[in-house]
Amino acid sequence: MIHLCLALISLCSTPADLWDQGLSEFRAGANARANEVAARQHFCSAAQYFADLRILGANSASLHRNEGKARILSGDVAGAILAFQRGLANDPNDADLQKGLAYARSQVDYISNDDRQRFTPRPSGMASVRRALARFGVLVLAVWTIVSLIMISRWLVSGRSGQLWFGIAFLAVAFLWSRAIHWATTSTRDAESLAVVTTPTFLREGNGNSFPERISSKLPAGVEVRICNRQDGWRQVQLSDGTIGWLPATSVDVP
């Protein structure tokens, strides 16, 4: 009923209203921390307002950061990880998003420390480089190409060999830069296969409940996986330790 009311309110709200309502609910949750149940309800409402704003097309690091914080405080660890991942796709160097993701990962309810070590993703030092290249690489490539064409045009007019060599050097740099962009965009497309387990679920050896369990215990909500294949309402996924198995499509969500 609460979610239905929020949905009806959202339909009549402007983006600015949703933002203000989300912040208001977040502050109400912070003020109600002495009452855990009431606080979580406020944080849940705040997360829903921020999510509605996102669904309307808003996409900023601050929006995803606020949604992630509201979700972690409401007890929705998987939703928080998804929100922080969305934010980092928008701004990979945001320190608050990085800290939020690390904290959310620490709250995943693994049954043992061994599972936490196995299934928690390792930080990738190249991730921010890839995202930056994918986002700004084409602009830099255009600059290199324009400079090289200008130098070659000047050589055609003046006949000075130095300008020709500079033009060729800039073209070579532009070519190498284009290869870097290709590497970055390919890596970014690979990153789009990221998904998060939203419901504790058994990982199975095949795409059906009749297949044996790949791991003896359920994967807890919040485990991050890579989608390898999609088939008949199931997703073949790879865990951080390389384990591959199948999960129901309804048990995973993507950022």
184 and 198 inside one domain: no
Q: Is 118 within a domain?
A: no
pLDDT given for residue 12 in this prediction: 54
182 and 244 inside one domain: no
DSSP H or E segment with residue 238:
strand 234-238
pLDDT given for residue 97 in this prediction: 93
Kindly state the tokens that stand for 126: 């190249």
Residue span of the structural domain in which 58 resides: 2-107
- CB neighbours (10 Å) of residue 4? 8
Q: Is 12 within a domain?
A: yes
216 and 175 inside one domain: no
Long-range pairs of 134-139 with CB within 8 A, sequence gap ≥ 24: 134/181, 134/184, 134/185, 134/187, 134/188, 137/177, 137/180, 137/181, 137/184, 137/185, 138/181
Long-range pairs of 235-239 with CB within 8 A, sequence gap ≥ 24: 235/195, 236/207, 237/195, 237/203, 239/118, 239/119, 239/203
Kindly state the tokens that stand for 96: 């608050």
Query: With contact defined as beta carbons under 8 Å apart, do 228 and 244 qualify?
Result: yes
pLDDT given for residue 131 in this prediction: 65
Torsion 8-11-17-20 (CA) sign: positive
Kindly state the tokens that stand for 71: 């979700």
238 and 171 inside one domain: no
Query: How many independent structural domains does the chain possess?
Result: 3
73 and 94 inside one domain: yes
pLDDT given for residue 187 in this prediction: 47
155 and 89 inside one domain: no
Torsion 17-23-26-27 (CA) sign: negative
Q: Edge-to-edge strand order for the sheet containing 244-248?
A: 244-248, 234-238, 224-231, 194-197, 252-253
101 and 139 inside one domain: no
CATH of the domain at 223: 2.30.30.40
Q: Is 240 within a domain?
A: yes
pLDDT given for residue 184 in this prediction: 65
Query: With contact defined as beta carbons under 8 Å apart, do 160 and 120 qualify?
Result: no
List the alpha helices (DSSP H) in 124-224. Answer: 127-158, 161-191
Q: Is 113 within a domain?
A: no
pLDDT given for residue 29 in this prediction: 95
**Residue 159 contacts by C-beta under 8 Å, 6 or more apart in sequence?**
none
C-alpha to C-alpha distance for 133 and 182, rounded to whole angstroms: 9
7 and 95 inside one domain: yes
Diameter of the chain measured on Cα atoms = 80
pLDDT given for residue 65 in this prediction: 96
pLDDT given for residue 137 in this prediction: 77
Of 78, 107, 136, the position where a domain reaches its end is 107
175 and 207 inside one domain: no
What are the pLDDT tens digits along the chain (255 aa)? 545 454 444 555 788 999 999 999 999 999 998 999 999 999 999 999 999 999 999 999 999 999 999 999 999 999 999 999 999 888 877 889 999 999 999 999 999 999 999 999 876 556 667 667 766 778 888 888 888 888 888 888 887 888 888 888 888 888 887 887 776 665 444 445 789 999 999 999 999 999 999 998 999 999 999 999 999 899 999 999 999 999 999 999 998
pLDDT given for residue 192 in this prediction: 52
Q: Is 214 within a domain?
A: yes
Q: Is 117 within a domain?
A: no
